[in-house]
Chain A
Amino acid sequence: MSTVADRDVALVDLVDRLLGAGVVIAGDLTLAVADIDLVYVQLRALITSVATAEEKGLLPPIGDAL
Protein backbone atom coordinates (compact mmCIF):
# COMPACT_ATOMS: atom_id res chain seq x y z
CA MET A 1 0.00 0.00 0.00
CA SER A 2 2.88 2.34 -0.65
CA THR A 3 2.00 3.80 -4.03
CA VAL A 4 -0.87 6.12 -4.87
CA ALA A 5 -2.44 3.63 -7.29
CA ASP A 6 -2.28 0.84 -4.73
CA ARG A 7 -3.87 3.14 -2.17
CA ASP A 8 -6.84 3.82 -4.42
CA VAL A 9 -7.35 0.11 -4.98
CA ALA A 10 -7.06 -0.47 -1.26
CA LEU A 11 -9.49 2.31 -0.35
CA VAL A 12 -12.44 -0.06 -0.74
CA ASP A 13 -10.78 -2.45 1.71
CA LEU A 14 -9.89 0.45 4.01
CA VAL A 15 -13.51 1.66 4.17
CA ASP A 16 -14.77 -1.89 4.76
CA ARG A 17 -12.48 -2.11 7.77
CA LEU A 18 -12.34 1.32 9.38
CA LEU A 19 -16.04 2.05 8.99
CA GLY A 20 -17.55 -1.42 8.85
CA ALA A 21 -15.46 -3.40 11.33
CA GLY A 22 -13.29 -2.94 14.40
CA VAL A 23 -14.31 -2.65 18.04
CA VAL A 24 -17.51 -0.64 18.44
CA ILE A 25 -17.83 1.39 21.60
CA ALA A 26 -21.60 1.75 21.76
CA GLY A 27 -23.17 5.12 22.14
CA ASP A 28 -20.02 7.18 21.87
CA LEU A 29 -19.45 7.50 18.17
CA THR A 30 -19.32 11.11 17.14
CA LEU A 31 -18.59 10.26 13.52
CA ALA A 32 -21.19 7.55 13.35
CA VAL A 33 -21.63 6.17 9.88
CA ALA A 34 -25.07 4.82 9.15
CA ASP A 35 -24.53 3.83 5.55
CA ILE A 36 -21.16 2.66 4.30
CA ASP A 37 -22.37 2.66 0.70
CA LEU A 38 -23.00 6.36 1.04
CA VAL A 39 -19.45 6.89 2.25
CA TYR A 40 -18.14 5.03 -0.79
CA VAL A 41 -20.13 7.34 -3.03
CA GLN A 42 -18.83 10.42 -1.23
CA LEU A 43 -15.26 9.22 -1.35
CA ARG A 44 -15.46 8.35 -5.01
CA ALA A 45 -16.18 11.98 -5.79
CA LEU A 46 -12.95 12.94 -4.06
CA ILE A 47 -10.62 10.54 -5.75
CA THR A 48 -9.60 11.67 -9.17
CA SER A 49 -7.60 8.58 -10.01
CA VAL A 50 -10.48 6.26 -9.28
CA ALA A 51 -11.03 6.17 -13.04
CA THR A 52 -7.96 3.96 -13.29
CA ALA A 53 -9.50 1.44 -10.94
CA GLU A 54 -12.72 1.49 -12.95
CA GLU A 55 -10.84 0.81 -16.17
CA LYS A 56 -9.34 -2.24 -14.56
CA GLY A 57 -12.79 -3.39 -13.53
CA LEU A 58 -12.04 -2.95 -9.85
CA LEU A 59 -15.06 -0.80 -9.21
CA PRO A 60 -18.51 -0.87 -10.75
CA PRO A 61 -19.48 2.22 -12.75
CA ILE A 62 -21.02 5.08 -10.80
CA GLY A 63 -24.75 4.58 -10.53
CA ASP A 64 -24.56 0.83 -9.98
CA ALA A 65 -25.04 -0.68 -6.58
CA LEU A 66 -21.59 -0.48 -5.04
Chain B
Amino acid sequence: MIELYAITAAAGPPLPTALALHAVPIGDLAAICAPAEEDEREITPDSLWRHEQVVEALMEDRDLLPVRFGTRLDDDAAAARSLAGRRDEFKRALERVRGAVELSVRAVFLDTVGAVEPTGRTGADYLRLKRRITAAQETVASVVHQPLLELARAHTLRSPRPPSEALRAAYLVERGAVGRFTGLVAQLDEQHPELQLLCTGPWPPYSFVES
Protein backbone atom coordinates (compact mmCIF):
# COMPACT_ATOMS: atom_id res chain seq x y z
CA MET B 1 0.00 0.00 0.00
CA ILE B 2 1.34 3.43 -0.90
CA GLU B 3 0.21 6.91 0.03
CA LEU B 4 0.17 9.72 -2.53
CA TYR B 5 1.45 13.17 -1.58
CA ALA B 6 1.80 15.24 -4.70
CA ILE B 7 1.91 15.36 -8.48
CA THR B 8 4.83 17.18 -10.01
CA ALA B 9 7.00 17.35 -13.12
CA ALA B 10 9.14 14.23 -13.67
CA ALA B 11 12.20 16.38 -14.26
CA GLY B 12 13.01 18.18 -11.05
CA PRO B 13 15.33 18.41 -8.07
CA PRO B 14 16.07 15.17 -6.18
CA LEU B 15 13.54 14.12 -3.54
CA PRO B 16 14.35 15.03 0.08
CA THR B 17 16.44 12.09 1.31
CA ALA B 18 15.21 12.10 4.90
CA LEU B 19 11.76 10.95 3.82
CA ALA B 20 11.01 7.52 2.41
CA LEU B 21 9.63 9.00 -0.79
CA HIS B 22 9.75 7.69 -4.32
CA ALA B 23 8.50 9.02 -7.63
CA VAL B 24 6.14 7.02 -9.84
CA PRO B 25 6.66 8.24 -13.40
CA ILE B 26 3.54 9.09 -15.40
CA GLY B 27 4.91 10.29 -18.72
CA ASP B 28 6.60 13.63 -18.08
CA LEU B 29 4.87 13.90 -14.70
CA ALA B 30 5.51 12.02 -11.48
CA ALA B 31 3.43 11.04 -8.48
CA ILE B 32 5.37 11.40 -5.24
CA CYS B 33 4.51 8.50 -2.95
CA ALA B 34 5.63 6.77 0.23
CA PRO B 35 4.81 3.43 1.84
CA ALA B 36 1.52 3.88 3.74
CA GLU B 37 1.41 3.39 7.49
CA GLU B 38 -0.94 0.42 7.45
CA ASP B 39 -2.08 0.85 11.03
CA GLU B 40 -2.79 4.55 10.66
CA ARG B 41 -6.47 4.83 9.82
CA GLU B 42 -7.52 7.61 12.10
CA ILE B 43 -7.30 11.27 11.28
CA THR B 44 -5.54 13.19 14.03
CA PRO B 45 -3.95 16.65 14.05
CA ASP B 46 -0.54 14.93 14.19
CA SER B 47 -1.25 12.75 11.17
CA LEU B 48 -2.44 15.80 9.22
CA TRP B 49 0.63 17.81 10.17
CA ARG B 50 3.01 14.94 9.31
CA HIS B 51 1.44 14.73 5.87
CA GLU B 52 1.62 18.50 5.47
CA GLN B 53 5.31 18.57 6.44
CA VAL B 54 6.13 16.13 3.64
CA VAL B 55 4.28 18.20 1.04
CA GLU B 56 5.85 21.43 2.33
CA ALA B 57 9.33 19.88 2.10
CA LEU B 58 8.61 18.99 -1.52
CA MET B 59 7.17 22.44 -2.19
CA GLU B 60 10.39 24.15 -1.12
CA ASP B 61 12.12 23.56 -4.42
CA ARG B 62 9.45 22.54 -6.94
CA ASP B 63 5.96 23.29 -8.23
CA LEU B 64 3.43 20.64 -7.30
CA LEU B 65 -0.21 19.72 -7.01
CA PRO B 66 -0.97 18.45 -3.50
CA VAL B 67 -3.08 15.29 -3.35
CA ARG B 68 -5.94 15.05 -0.86
CA PHE B 69 -5.00 13.54 2.49
CA GLY B 70 -5.61 9.82 2.84
CA THR B 71 -5.21 8.85 -0.81
CA ARG B 72 -3.83 5.31 -0.74
CA LEU B 73 -3.34 2.88 -3.60
CA ASP B 74 -2.24 -0.74 -3.77
CA ASP B 75 1.11 -0.10 -5.44
CA ASP B 76 3.03 2.02 -7.97
CA ALA B 77 1.28 0.34 -10.90
CA ALA B 78 -2.13 1.24 -9.46
CA ALA B 79 -1.01 4.84 -9.02
CA ALA B 80 0.24 5.03 -12.60
CA ARG B 81 -3.04 3.53 -13.86
CA SER B 82 -5.18 5.97 -11.87
CA LEU B 83 -3.32 9.05 -12.99
CA ALA B 84 -2.28 8.33 -16.59
CA GLY B 85 -5.60 9.44 -18.11
CA ARG B 86 -5.50 12.80 -16.33
CA ARG B 87 -2.05 13.96 -17.43
CA ASP B 88 -3.31 16.90 -19.50
CA GLU B 89 -5.49 18.13 -16.66
CA PHE B 90 -2.55 17.93 -14.23
CA LYS B 91 -0.20 19.71 -16.64
CA ARG B 92 -2.65 22.59 -17.05
CA ALA B 93 -3.04 22.82 -13.28
CA LEU B 94 0.73 22.77 -12.74
CA GLU B 95 1.05 25.58 -15.25
CA ARG B 96 -1.51 27.65 -13.32
CA VAL B 97 0.32 27.28 -9.99
CA ARG B 98 3.84 27.62 -11.37
CA GLY B 99 6.02 29.70 -9.06
CA ALA B 100 3.17 30.40 -6.67
CA VAL B 101 2.00 29.33 -3.22
CA GLU B 102 -1.29 29.52 -1.38
CA LEU B 103 -2.09 31.87 1.49
CA SER B 104 -5.15 31.51 3.66
CA VAL B 105 -6.98 34.53 5.04
CA ARG B 106 -9.91 34.41 7.42
CA ALA B 107 -11.60 37.55 8.75
CA VAL B 108 -13.28 37.26 12.13
CA PHE B 109 -15.41 39.98 13.72
CA LEU B 110 -14.25 40.79 17.22
CA ASP B 111 -17.40 42.66 18.22
CA THR B 112 -20.79 41.05 18.57
CA VAL B 113 -22.07 41.70 15.07
CA GLY B 114 -23.11 38.10 14.71
CA ALA B 115 -22.80 36.78 18.21
CA VAL B 116 -26.36 37.61 19.27
CA GLU B 117 -28.18 34.35 19.77
CA PRO B 118 -31.23 34.32 17.55
CA THR B 119 -32.81 31.67 19.75
CA GLY B 120 -35.74 32.94 21.78
CA ARG B 121 -36.01 36.14 19.82
CA THR B 122 -38.67 37.32 17.46
CA GLY B 123 -38.59 36.72 13.73
CA ALA B 124 -37.93 40.42 13.18
CA ASP B 125 -34.86 40.23 15.44
CA TYR B 126 -33.63 37.25 13.51
CA LEU B 127 -34.02 39.02 10.17
CA ARG B 128 -32.23 42.10 11.52
CA LEU B 129 -29.38 39.88 12.67
CA LYS B 130 -29.20 38.18 9.29
CA ARG B 131 -29.06 41.58 7.59
CA ARG B 132 -26.25 42.71 9.89
CA ILE B 133 -24.22 39.57 9.13
CA THR B 134 -24.75 40.02 5.40
CA ALA B 135 -23.76 43.69 5.58
CA ALA B 136 -20.66 42.79 7.60
CA GLN B 137 -19.63 40.19 5.02
CA GLU B 138 -20.11 42.70 2.20
CA THR B 139 -17.95 45.22 4.04
CA VAL B 140 -15.18 42.67 4.51
CA ALA B 141 -15.37 41.75 0.83
CA SER B 142 -14.65 45.35 -0.16
CA VAL B 143 -12.15 46.39 2.53
CA VAL B 144 -10.17 43.13 2.81
CA HIS B 145 -10.78 40.82 -0.11
CA GLN B 146 -10.59 43.40 -2.90
CA PRO B 147 -7.22 44.89 -1.86
CA LEU B 148 -5.73 41.39 -1.44
CA LEU B 149 -6.81 40.42 -4.95
CA GLU B 150 -4.34 43.01 -6.28
CA LEU B 151 -1.47 40.80 -5.07
CA ALA B 152 -2.98 37.44 -6.02
CA ARG B 153 -2.94 35.47 -9.25
CA ALA B 154 -6.16 33.68 -8.35
CA HIS B 155 -8.44 33.14 -5.39
CA THR B 156 -10.93 30.66 -3.95
CA LEU B 157 -13.72 31.59 -1.56
CA ARG B 158 -15.08 29.14 1.00
CA SER B 159 -18.26 29.73 2.97
CA PRO B 160 -17.50 31.76 6.09
CA ARG B 161 -18.57 30.00 9.27
CA PRO B 162 -21.18 32.06 11.11
CA PRO B 163 -21.60 33.84 13.39
CA SER B 164 -18.27 35.65 13.67
CA GLU B 165 -16.39 34.69 10.50
CA ALA B 166 -16.94 37.03 7.55
CA LEU B 167 -14.34 35.83 5.05
CA ARG B 168 -12.67 32.50 4.43
CA ALA B 169 -10.46 32.75 1.38
CA ALA B 170 -7.40 31.29 -0.30
CA TYR B 171 -5.10 33.35 -2.51
CA LEU B 172 -2.60 32.07 -5.04
CA VAL B 173 0.44 34.34 -4.63
CA GLU B 174 3.80 34.47 -6.43
CA ARG B 175 6.53 33.13 -4.15
CA GLY B 176 8.31 36.47 -4.42
CA ALA B 177 5.21 38.42 -3.36
CA VAL B 178 4.43 36.52 -0.14
CA GLY B 179 6.10 39.15 2.02
CA ARG B 180 4.13 41.95 0.39
CA PHE B 181 0.92 39.97 0.74
CA THR B 182 1.36 39.26 4.46
CA GLY B 183 2.45 42.89 4.93
CA LEU B 184 -0.78 44.05 3.33
CA VAL B 185 -2.78 41.67 5.56
CA ALA B 186 -1.06 43.15 8.64
CA GLN B 187 -1.79 46.66 7.39
CA LEU B 188 -5.48 45.89 6.77
CA ASP B 189 -5.69 44.21 10.17
CA GLU B 190 -4.41 47.39 11.77
CA GLN B 191 -6.76 49.62 9.77
CA HIS B 192 -9.78 47.59 10.89
CA PRO B 193 -9.73 47.10 14.66
CA GLU B 194 -13.20 45.55 14.51
CA LEU B 195 -11.73 42.62 12.59
CA GLN B 196 -9.08 40.04 13.24
CA LEU B 197 -7.39 38.79 10.10
CA LEU B 198 -5.91 35.31 10.38
CA CYS B 199 -3.38 34.66 7.68
CA THR B 200 -1.62 31.28 7.44
CA GLY B 201 0.77 29.79 4.93
CA PRO B 202 2.48 29.56 2.61
CA TRP B 203 0.55 26.38 1.86
CA PRO B 204 0.92 24.08 -1.12
CA PRO B 205 -1.74 25.17 -3.64
CA TYR B 206 -4.47 22.83 -2.34
CA SER B 207 -7.26 25.21 -3.32
CA PHE B 208 -6.01 25.67 -6.89
CA VAL B 209 -5.68 22.16 -8.30
CA GLU B 210 -8.81 22.51 -10.42
CA SER B 211 -9.77 25.01 -13.05
B110 lies within 8 A of chain A by Cβ:
yes
The complex places the Cα of A43 from the Cα of B70 at a distance, in Å, of: 16
B24 lies within 8 A of chain A by Cβ:
no
B82 lies within 8 A of chain A by Cβ:
yes
Task: Give the number of residues in B that approach A within 8 Å (Cβ atoms).
Answer: 46
Task: Give the number of residues in A that approach B within 8 Å (Cβ atoms).
Answer: 38
B163 touches A14 (CB 8 A): no
> CB-CB contacts of A6-22 with B at 8 A, as 1s and 0s?
11011111111111111
Question: Among B45, B72, B102, B109, which residue has its beta carbon within 8 angstroms of that of A31?
Answer: B72
Binds A, one of B13-21, B125-133, B195-203: B195-203
CB interface residues, A 14-34, toward B, < 8 Å = 14-25, 28-33
Would you give 24 A-B contacts (Cβ < 8 Å), ordered by A? Answer: A10-B104, A13-B200, A16-B104, A17-B66, A17-B170, A21-B209, A23-B7, A23-B66, A23-B68, A23-B71, A24-B68, A24-B71, A25-B73, A28-B73, A28-B82, A29-B71, A31-B69, A42-B43, A57-B109, A57-B164, A57-B196, A58-B108, A58-B196, A60-B164
A residues whose Cβ falls under 8 Å from a Cβ of B: 1, 6-7, 9-25, 28-33, 39, 42-43, 46-47, 56-58, 60, 64-66
